[in-house]
Structure 1
Amino acid sequence: MIAQTQLKKPSNWQDFEKLCKLLWGEIWICEDTIKRHGRQGQNQYGVDVFSYVEKYSGYCGIQCKGKDDYTNAQLTEAEIDNEITKALDFEPNLKLLVFATTANKDVKIEGYIRKKDIENRAKGLFAIDIASWEDIVDQLERYRTTYNWYVNNCQFKDTTDVLVTFHGKDEITIYPEYVKTIKHYEYRKLTEIEQDVMRLSLGNLEVPNIGIPRFSFNPPKKIDKRWCKLRIRIENTGKTVIRTPKLIVSFRSEDIVEIDDNFYYFNAFGIDEAAKAQINASRDAKREVYQTYKNQLEYRPKNSVFVQKDCRDFYMSVIPVDGIKKFSLIWKFLCEDYQKNGVLTIYVEPQIEEHIKTIEVHDESELKPDEASLAPKVVEV
């Protein structure tokens, strides 16, 4: 954890306002309802951030006051009076107004806030409090979600970040291939001669084929054309060097038939076993992609140092389930002291090759309506 004295103040008012929104969202237990008030240029009635808070049984507001740390600027009594007056017109009436400021703690200003708090309470108006930068840091120590957000996003200019894409795109379209076969039945009446020939052929015995079976040292390889290759890129978009990274890629089981890490061992026929072992050892040494589950794989780059603006690509393949139009690739990036999650979108446009198979029948009772079937396209190479 970063020491209090090392937590730098936000560099702009937008970051400070967002910090206050997140922090008091945790403090007041209203993360889902706390909001920034209006937009820049509108009358905000002394309130930059507000929410209904169960603890106070009403609305509470925050007035965010960023101060220049280099001139030791502080809140002034006039500023406080002005914002309190404006907050009187906030609707519905406030229960509490907090002055959150990047200014350092100041005894005089804290005393003035206490005085105004007592005056307001005596009039039946909202309570008033102040949170100087040291107070905010104390609260950040307690509320880890906001602390982590602030440290990772606003604390340092040298932040760690990555971009995971399909070679620069958040969405891609894949084109699995299928074959649609239509059986079409046609009736043709046989001539008398054809009928005689058919009767003779039915009476003949079938002669078994005793030819020499064909054998191939290199049988053809069958390829399922539903496989679609994905090119995934990781880019270091932050300002730090990333070490020992790992990317986990997964899919919902119901979205895919199979995935593949595109790694295989060499096992050609007729090659000496020692030579095979040497080749496969070399492939193992270079391997970076590992399928860990049916629907998940990991990318573990051999070069484990990503300098700024560096990028790495790797490939994998996937077969989507039949009929799906869109599915998600879910990724999680991990490295030393940093992690990030994300989702990429894959659209599916199946490519269907249509074949018509005509079946001739000679008996009208055998006629049928067209029959269609869809199957993966498989080719031999």
Structure 2
Amino acid sequence: MKISQSLPKPENWQDFENLCKKLWGEIWSCAEIKKNGRSGQNQAGIDVYGIPKGEISYFGIQCKGKDEYTNKQLLEKEINEEIEKAKKFEPSLKKMYFATTAVKDVVAETVIRKKNIEHLKQGIFEVHLYSWEDIVDLIFENKTTYDYYLNSQTFKKSQSVNVTFKNGETEMTVNPKFLQKIRVARTKYEQMEQQAKELMPDWIEKMVDKHWITPEIFSTSFSNSPKQTEFNRSFFEGTILVTNNGSDPLEHWKLTLSLPEDINEISYKNCEKKGSYIISGLKNVHFDTFINSESNIITIEPRKKILVGDDSFESDSLFYKPNPKKSSIKIPWKLVSKDFKEKGFLTLHIEPKIESERIKVDDNSPLLLDENKRITIEDFFETVVESE
């Protein structure tokens, strides 16, 4: 099961340093990875060090607790100061990593890249930067660290949330259906019909000519007509599931999803009742999930204001209609509560199925002259007969 690519940050710099030691110990396959000295000692710019498997030189990590603790970014002056200190680490490093809880920052990344090229030309240690989003990706890629972090006491004291689709995944591949209508000149259409008839097996042709199957056979009175529902198969379901995977409750929480332009319609349903089941005067009432079709925004604000640890909340049914083309789209979401906020993405892989239908028009129809009118793509409707 895939879950949201977001995790709460450690509560303090000591826990962050422990996390870095655990994570890079797994990445490097280095059981001997260690913290450098103790707090207050001159650590030569390195908090954690080890020799990765297959290497013969030390790699070092400078752990920087930022954002949650100091509300600051990693600055160029600070980067240069720590690099100068790391030049005194003995024996000399092969690589130096900055690991920070600060969010990704293009300024800091640019400084690190330039410094790395400078060092490569000088023949000294490489310099790399891992911001919190990068570290989260690494945690998800390394199971031992992932299990350790999720089960740690520090993590359990934090508030954390998973936002997924109804099936518990943050990525989903869908196959909405569309109908491609192709206008064909009457003469050409009839020629195609004749060619198809010539290729038709004799027994089928006789059946059609003698009306062995006719519409009258299936005609019934209104009172005996079957119950039918018409579904718009151009929509697919994307109901949202919110899970509190922390130990503390989420109070007065609200989730907002911003759908990109690739999604051109949102609905609570994808069907209309037909025949004897026509419903009038009543509409579905939605208490927790609200759709703003003009801005393509979905807001989930539950009546039950508290979501306790390990509990889940499922939104009202949601159906989306995408553009009829193959694409991968990201849906950004943001959750806010009384004393916690988080954001992330859901990913949809759109792989539409398009069926074709030829429509006969007059030979001189203007529709044949305009390609946009000659071929159109429309919603695909399917009528389902309900069994008694």
Report the TM-score, using the length of structure 1 for normalisation.
0.48
**Rg comparison, structure with higher value:** 1
